[in-house]
Amino acid sequence: MKAAVLHEIGGIPHYEDFPDPVAADDEVIIEVKAVAVETVDKRIAAGTHYASRRYTAQLPAIPAFDGVGTLPDGTLVGFGNPRLPYGALAERTVVPRGSWAPIPDGIDPATATVLSTAITAMSARTAAGLVPGETVLVQGATGVAGRLAVKVARLLGAGRIVATGRDDDQLREVKADAVINTAVPDEELTQAYLDARGDGYDVVLDFLWGRPTELLLRALVPRTFAFPRPTRLVQIGESAGAGLTLAAESLRTSGVEIYGAARGLGPETMPEVYGQVVAWAQSGELTFDLVKVPLSDIGTAWQRTGLRGRRLVVVP
């Protein structure tokens, strides 16, 4: 079969022949239909992710650990946990029985690969308890996940959305009520947060962390003894930095509450959350910006930049 094959840590996968997988008694062969190439896949291949050792212990190997494909009976499923060295970026892979879930009717394979990103954006409700009419600040709104977060927040009934990013052109593409460029000096960015807050930020979906969020938390410290308006911040990503300095007053007097994105998600809530995202996708209310490339172009696609908030999806 043809596959994207990684020969060395830090290398680029090459389109070449690879032995076909053979299923054991407790495994199933998946015919791969679509795979989203994400930052985590590239970091694992580069050896910079905490899980790199697990996925690159045996080389050569096929990158990516989840995707969408068909079972032997033709059922379209989302799958994960392929048996190493068989990753998802191949014509076929092999997974343990039960390591898949059916894809609902009306969802094409490429779109199905990014449903999980939209589920992350649902943390506005599941983690922060967003109430229709509230104001949402999306930190890092020009990436794939951030743009989806803006769309999901609107569908959840956000009354006002403020979006941040580092590129004015891309910020103009985001359907927000106000935008903030974070690539400015500290004092200017702090003032921008204050100017755009209106009556206050009720929910913050944070894909950045690092410097921008540190400045945001400083900006939220009240200047008077008035009771602060609560702000529920959901920590999702760290594209601007893995750490920040959190001043005591940023929590003591600001009304800020910080949650992880997984808060409120579990076996009881996930079916409802997933069902809502699927329903929006089926109705066309929630759209996904994708760039589809054939598996044969994996070498070029792997190094591609400038996607402008679109998800790269490889179609074998």
Where exactly are the structural domains of the chain? 2-114+288-315, 117-260
Is it the case that residue 37 has pLDDT exceeding 90?
yes
Which position has the higher pLDDT, 211 or 46?
211
- Determine the CATH number of domain 117-260: 3.40.50.720
> What CATH number labels 2-114+288-315?
3.90.180.10
In this structure, what token pair is assigned to residue 248? 């005591």
Which pTM does this prediction carry? 0.88
pLDDT at 208 over 80: yes
Query: Taking a C-beta distance cutoff of 8 angstroms, is the pair 82, 26 a contact?
Result: no
- pLDDT digits over 91-139, tens only? 999 999 989 999 998 899 999 999 989 999 999 999 999 999 999 999 9
pLDDT tens track for 135-178: 999 999 999 999 999 999 999 999 999 999 999 999 999 999 99
Confidence of residue 50 (pLDDT cuts 50, 70, 90): confident
**pLDDT at residue 224, as a whole number:** 73
Mean pLDDT of the chain: 93
